[in-house]
Amino acid sequence: MFNHTKVLQYPARPDKPDALFAKKMQEILGGQFGEITVALQYLFQGWSARGEEKYKDLIMDTATEEIGHVEMIATMIARLLDGAPIKEQEEAAKDPVIGAILGGMNPQHAIVSGLGPRPTDSNGVPWNAGYIIASGNLLADIRANINAESQGRLQVARLYEMTEDQGVRDMLSFLLARDSMHQNQWIAAARELEEKNGVIVPGSFPRELEADNFSHSLINFSEGEDSKEGSWANGTAPDGGQFNYEQTPTAHGEKQELQPAPEYMYPK
């Protein structure tokens, strides 16, 4: 069960309207690694957690915070749209600055949401739940989270670069910090689990059941041998095995061919 506080976790107030940046900022609201993704991803992971309580609590702490980040970015977008020009006027069209805004803004910000945020990415594609990950394997999911916070912080950093609005940058500096913390915490959690269960997910599947002569070979499917010199082709692998390099890929299987189709499938 949840409760809501009307005050934002951190200020979300731009210096001035900017409909073009409002469009771009949609990416971190409703894009693949926007805040809707992390909020729902962590909620589903937390609600499905079947293991130790401290991990479940960590996930739910972070999930709940992220709903508040959706709120902050939604607020910022609405405020960036306040006062945006929307009419195609003769004069406007001739003013290159306004013309570029009218041509470049997200039309749904005017037509559909009436100057509100949209649950979409920066191109207007609706967020969908195919973005989120909750597998029931704790280490797998924490790796998903390390990735999500890395991609997310990268996008925030790029947005920071793309604006000079100090109000926007202030909020982004907070998001950058929280994404740093979230990377830190998930990395710490992953290290704990890797120590307990090993680095290969899932750790509980018996290694002897895999075709283990293929478990440590880098196979050279792309012409050129630059990859041969990497730490992934020689020496000890993270799981303790020995890496090796296969210069020429071998096909171990049979020809890719199928039986003729039955008549009732109407192959002709």
Is residue 80 within the footprint of a copy of itself (CB under 8 A)?
Answer: no
Residue tagged 């790029």 (tokens): 158
Q: How many residues does the chain have?
A: 268
Least separation in angstroms between CB 52 and a copy of itself: 8
DSSP 8-state secondary structure symbol assigned to residue 223: S
Contact status: 91 vs a copy of itself (CB under 8 A): no
| 68 binds a copy of itself per the rule CB under 8 A | yes
The reply on whether position 247 binds a copy of itself by CB under 8 A is no
Q: Cα–Cα distances in Å, from 20 out to 25, 58, 63, 105, 108? A: 9, 36, 29, 5, 12
> How many angstroms separate the CA atoms of 184 and 190, rounded?
10
Asked if residues 244 and 216 have their Cβ atoms less than 8 Å apart, the reply is yes
The residue among 241, 215, 245 whose CA lies nearest residue 230 is 245
Rule CB under 8 A: say whether 133 interacts with a copy of itself: yes
Q: Write the interaction track for a copy of itself spanning residues 19-58; mark x where CB under 8 A is met and - where it is not.
A: -xx-xx--x--xxx---x---x--xx-xxxxxx-xxxxxx
Q: How many residues bind a copy of itself (CB under 8 A)?
A: 195
Q: Distance between CA atoms of 196 and 194, rounded to whole angstroms? A: 5
- CB nearer to a copy of itself: give 38 or 63: 63
Dig out the tokens for 6 from the structure: 């009307």
User: Residue 204 Cβ, how far from a copy of itself at the closest point, in Å?
Assistant: 4
Cβ at position 263, least distance to a copy of itself in Å? 7
Instruction: Show contacts with a copy of itself in window 150-189 (CB under 8 A).
Output: 150-151, 153-155, 157-164, 170, 173-174, 176-178, 180-181, 183-189
Q: Minimal distance in Å, beta carbon 130 to a copy of itself?
A: 4
Q: Is 209 in the site for a copy of itself (CB under 8 A)?
A: yes
For residue 179, give both structure tokens.
């994404």
**Binds a copy of itself by CB under 8 A, chosen from 14, 35, 38, 62:** 62
